[in-house]
Chains A and B, each alone.
Chain A
């Protein structure tokens, strides 16, 4: 009958070592900086990779530094040449304009795709399917040769309206809007459906809830891929060189068409694209940081602190 006195079976099985620890005030861990230190394993693989990379790079530099075809002097001469700088300006202008237009278009397309209106939704999807499906280069050529299909637009000669720049701008904007529409739609889908419900329960229509509640919250999801798209756009503008868009690559090609210094001038172009992309990446980094750390739209709360009279009431409420 030893089981009935409360310590028969359990004690046999677990032994007397089952202790019930209760932390007492003043209980500290036995040692916080004892003599035992942990040391990480040496990363031999990383050291080996670095050595190999440095060796290969050094060999490449050594072989090319003295290569007469590189003509670094020519690179230096044309790096800040007014014609090249003008091309850099056109490339920047084209990228920013195309990106802005495509974001505006994509915003409407995304709203259409998300709409309850099934026809609008289908039109949005077909739009994305087409402009994302046809290669950008083909779209650039299509717009440049628009005059074949429509000799006049609103009474003006198509050829006078469509220059290399404008055809390039239209093609890049439309192609990009297909991608951006999908990015914006994905961002809107990332906001929980409950947000729309809550907005509608206050008295918003579905469209108002999408624009005023869902869209602002989707920006943090939309922003990083948009930065990537912009970097892609900076490089995609080089496609307009096939229709003489007077961008960076077009002008570099014009120059080496005359002086035959092909490689040095391509290096000028490559360096400029790298500079633009680097600046854009840094901008993207700061933009993302700003949107992830601080929440937008807190004007009111920052200006107005709760009044002390209400704060004391609140403490009572918290305790209740």
Chain B
């Protein structure tokens, strides 16, 4: 695999055990700058674990993860990966945006404060600058009017849109979405997908774990199908989704439709 200057995410031979479970069995994925990659697969195939490993919320048991050419969570010395100190890992995570299935907005802060928090507390931006930027991002996700609402006063779709703005406020190099619409009522899915389309149009590099085949076909450049901790198929989104070549992909897509 050649690493060019435009590679934003490189995942190579990643292995992960959760107790007795071999959750990731040598996963390879490369995402180029500006590319939108959807990861599909049955539950338990390791998609979410992969995302958590990429920004080191969970440690890996082996393999290489690099975001924008920088190793996340580990440094290599004499062929062995050593886990970095916590502060270094936290610093690496700043540049990786993550949107969660259950939104995880900070419950004690308004929508605006949720978006302002990271830039002020972590990037040490001035409050004024951060607030202006946050207002712009809330406008992007269509949540300006609810800037002073608390998460408990917002619908799931609205919370997820604020969560997307919160992740974008950190100016991430890569945005990861972990089943962002799975916890939503069916009628709220559309607004979140629309917001994600907007983020894609801004040229953001995106890695999206989703069950929304329609979204993947329309927005993604590439689709990756995972099964039992392995990448089974990886190719242009329309090819993979319309003409799956692996029987597992085909069987999964038949059932999802």
Q: A162-193 vs B: 1/0 string, CB under 8 Å?
A: 00000000000000000000000000000110
Q: State the Cβ distance, B153 to closest chain A Cβ, in Å.
A: 10
Look across to chain B and name the residue whose beta carbon is closest to the beta carbon of A304.
B131
Contacts of B139 in A (CB 8 A): 310, 313-314, 317
Q: B84-117 vs A: 1/0 string, CB under 8 Å?
A: 0011011101101110101111111110110011
Look across to chain B and name the residue whose beta carbon is closest to the beta carbon of A313.
B139
Contacts of B145 in A (CB 8 A): 306, 311, 314-315, 318
Contacts of B91 in A (CB 8 A): 203
Contacts of B93 in A (CB 8 A): 200-203
Q: State the Cβ distance, A246 to closest chain B Cβ, in Å.
A: 42
Q: At the interface with chain B, which of A32-40, A146-154, A231-239, A293-301?
A: A293-301
Query: Is the CB–CB distance between B142 and A314 below 8 Å?
Result: yes
Q: B185-225 vs A: 1/0 string, CB under 8 Å?
A: 00000010011000000000000000000000000000000
B135 in contact (CB, < 8 A) = yes
Query: Is the CB–CB distance between A197 and B57 below 8 Å?
Result: yes
Contacts of A297 in B (CB 8 A): 108-109, 113
Look across to chain B and name the residue whose beta carbon is closest to the beta carbon of A215.
B108
Q: Given A201-B98, A300-B116, do A310 and B144 touch, yes or no (CB 8 Å)?
A: yes
Q: Given A198-B105, A204-B122, do A300 and B142 touch, yes or no (CB 8 Å)?
A: no
Query: Is the CB–CB distance between A201 and B116 below 8 Å?
Result: no
Contacts of B122 in A (CB 8 A): 202-204
Query: Is the CB–CB distance between A202 and B170 below 8 Å?
Result: yes
B118 in contact (CB, < 8 A) = yes
Of B97, B118, B144, which one neighbours A313 at CB under 8 angstroms?
A: B144
Q: State the Cβ distance, B47 to closest chain A Cβ, in Å.
A: 16
Measured between alpha carbons, how far is A315 from B143 in the docked complex, in Å?
A: 8
A213 in contact (CB, < 8 A) = yes
Contacts of B166 in A (CB 8 A): 202
Contacts of A216 in B (CB 8 A): 108
Contacts of A197 in B (CB 8 A): 57, 98, 100, 104
A selection of 17 A-B contacts at a CB cut-off of 8 Å is A194-B100, A194-B102, A201-B55, A201-B93, A204-B90, A204-B122, A300-B113, A301-B110, A301-B113, A301-B148, A304-B131, A310-B138, A314-B138, A314-B144, A317-B139, A317-B140, A318-B142
CB within 8 Å of B: which residues of A?
191-192, 194-195, 197-208, 212-213, 216-217, 295-298, 300-302, 304-307, 310-311, 313-318, 320
